[in-house]
Amino acid sequence: MTTRIKDFEPGDVRPGDTVVVFGAGDVAQLARHALEAIGVPVSFLCDPLLADDSAALHGTPVLPPAALEQLDPETTCVLDAWDHTRYARQPALLARFDRLFVVVSLLSRTEFGEAAPVLPAERPRRIAHYAALCEPLLTGAGRLRLRSLDVVVTEACTMRCVDCSNLMQYYAHPRHSDLDELHAALHRLLAAVDGVEEFRVLGGEPFANPRAGQVVRTLTGLADTARVVVYTNGTIVPRGDLLESLADPRMLVKITDYGDLSRRHDALCDTLTDHGVAWVSQKPVWTDSGRIGRVDRTSEELARTFRDCCVNDLLTLLNGRLYLCPFSANAMNLGAVPDAADDVIDLRRDWPTDELRARIEALYHRHRPLTACSFCRGRDHTTPMVEPAIQVRRPLPLTVVSGTR
């Protein structure tokens, strides 16, 4: 289907067409703004995360993907502005439509003013990231360029949030990652794929590992690295080599502002600014996605849980192994969910490059739920919201589950 996708030009929409923007995140909001700026009204946003019967975003209705089945394929234009361009996982829904577009050129030539959505500092990054992800859709080349890779530098965190979706609340004896193992695994992975668009350095709390700067330098030192983003909870101000490693034009520090719990937030912002490090600080919004336990679902519901999950392609490198999502990574790393051979790739092994590439491609483009999905509450629009960062004093008891879907 990728050959049918075109880069949108204004003449592609005819009067009376229904224009659907697929997605409702930052790129979709920028796309809607850019379309309306050239006089193309957006009829609907379509997003599995936000849609319900009454959902609307800034006045535009938000439909679930299933609603696409009701639209006339002759008069509908679908503009993919999903930040992850993940609709490769929704082929049955989109196969009906002949006019499928991405909005790469439109976004690149739009002047976004003050009133436009998305933080101004975030816009160029989002647009560039989206353009890079769309390139293989448009050209068919570089098929295995990964959207992002989570590089876990520690299992330790300075907070213990009861609903941490990375499952830090279950670690009784957290360890920092073995950096030799991490670097070896990373280089094996990079030799087998067509690049990684964005590296995300995280933990736990990545600044808890004083050697995390070595990983940051490795990532920013790669020839085709576009971005490296470090995620921190605002409790530690990095010093020395770790701080210096962050002063790279491709670096961004993303601070989650948990209010009083982020006790070094302001000092961290000041230090990063003083050292010329780019940063953004955002308040969190959480779904109830941080507990391990079997969830009763039909096989159809399980398939939908995986399909609509917003992190179902968030590849995660943890302790030398590659997983498709952070929940799966940490649940398996904790030993809570049984190892399933096709859910994980052991990068501590010296694979022939072709075989490793094939395995990564199969994992990354996978359509079937992971074993972990059966024990995960999911991350989509049906997942209830929870109050972020409620702290617990002790690690949560770990129930080792067995059996699969």
Stretch that binds ligand SF4, among 66-74, 140-148, 157-165, 269-277 (CB under 6 A): 157-165
**Least distance from ligand SF4 to the Cβ atom of residue 374, Å:** 8
- The answer to whether the Cα torsion of 149, 152, 157, 161 is positive or negative is positive
Stretch that binds ligand SF4, among 61-69, 103-111, 124-132, 324-332 (CB under 6 A): 324-332
User: Is residue 327 a contact point for ligand SF4 (CB under 6 A)?
Assistant: yes
How many residues line the site for ligand SF4 (CB under 6 A)? 26
Stretch that binds ligand SF4, among 107-115, 135-143, 182-190, 322-330 (CB under 6 A): 322-330
* The one among 13, 27, 71, 161 contacting ligand SF4 by CB under 6 A: 161
From the CB of 364, what's the least distance to ligand SF4, in Å? 12
Nearer CB in complex with ligand SF4: 31/309? 309
The rounded distance, in Å, linking the Cα atoms of 100 and 142 is 20
Nearest approach, Cβ of 51 to ligand SF4 (angstroms)? 17
Q: Which of 166, 177, 220, 316 binds ligand SF4 (CB under 6 A)?
A: 166
Report the distance separating Cα 317 and Cα 307, nearest Å. 21
The tokens for 50 are 């936000």
Choose between 60 and 233: whose C-beta lies nearer to ligand SF4.
233
CA distance 280 to 261: 17
**By rule CB under 6 A, what string of x and - marks binding of each residue 241-280 to ligand SF4?**
----------------------------------------
Please identify, using beta-carbon distances, which residue of 277 and 324 lies nearer to ligand SF4: 324
Q: Helix, strand, or coil here: 331?
A: helix
Tell me the residue type at 21. V
Q: Which is nearer to ligand SF4, 283 or 349 (CB)?
A: 283
Among 186, 230, 325, 360, binds ligand SF4 (CB under 6 A): 325
Nearest to 323 by CA among 298, 347, 343, 297: 343
Q: Are 48 and 64 in contact (CB under 8 A)?
A: yes
Residues 277-316 that bind ligand SF4 (CB under 6 A): 305-306, 309, 311-312
* Least distance (Å) between residue 73 CB and ligand SF4: 30
Region of 75-83, 161-169, 275-283, 342-350 interacting with ligand SF4 (CB under 6 A):
161-169
- What does the DSSP assignment read for 110-130? ----TTSSS-TTTHHHHHHHH
Q: Does 159 bind ligand SF4 (CB under 6 A)?
A: yes
Place of tokens 């995390």: 212
Query: What is the token pair recorded at 326?
Result: 């952070």
Whole-number Å distance between alpha carbons of 209 and 154: 6
The residue among 108 and 404 lying less far from ligand SF4, judged by its C-beta, is: 404
32 versus 379: smaller Cβ distance to ligand SF4: 379
The Cα 113–Cα 116 span in angstroms is 6
- Cα angle at 275 between 111 and 254, to 5 degrees? 55
Strand 100-102 and strand 6-7: pairing?
parallel
Residue 10's region, left for phi above 0, alpha for psi from -120 to 50, else beta, is alpha
> Rounded distance, CA 107 to CA 127, Å?
7
64 near ligand SF4, rule: CB under 6 A: no
CB nearer ligand SF4, residue 125 or residue 291: 291
- Whichever of 93 and 292 has its CB closer to ligand SF4, that residue is 292
Q: Is residue 19 within a helix (H) or strand (E), and if so which, with residue range?
A: strand 18-22
Closer Cβ to ligand SF4, 201 or 376, answer by number: 376
Residue closer to ligand SF4, measured from CB, 110 or 383? 383
Say whether 64 sits in a helix, a strand or coil. Answer: coil
Q: What string marks each residue from 352 to 391 as x (binds ligand SF4 by CB under 6 A) or -?
A: ------------------x-xx--x-xx---------x--
Distance from C-alpha of 265 to C-alpha of 190, rounded to nearest angstrom: 34
134: Cβ–Cβ under 8 A, 6 or more apart, which residues?
7, 80, 85, 102, 104
Point out which residues bind ligand SF4 (CB under 6 A): 157, 159-161, 164, 166, 168, 203-205, 233, 305-306, 309, 311-312, 325, 327-328, 370, 372-373, 376, 378-379, 389
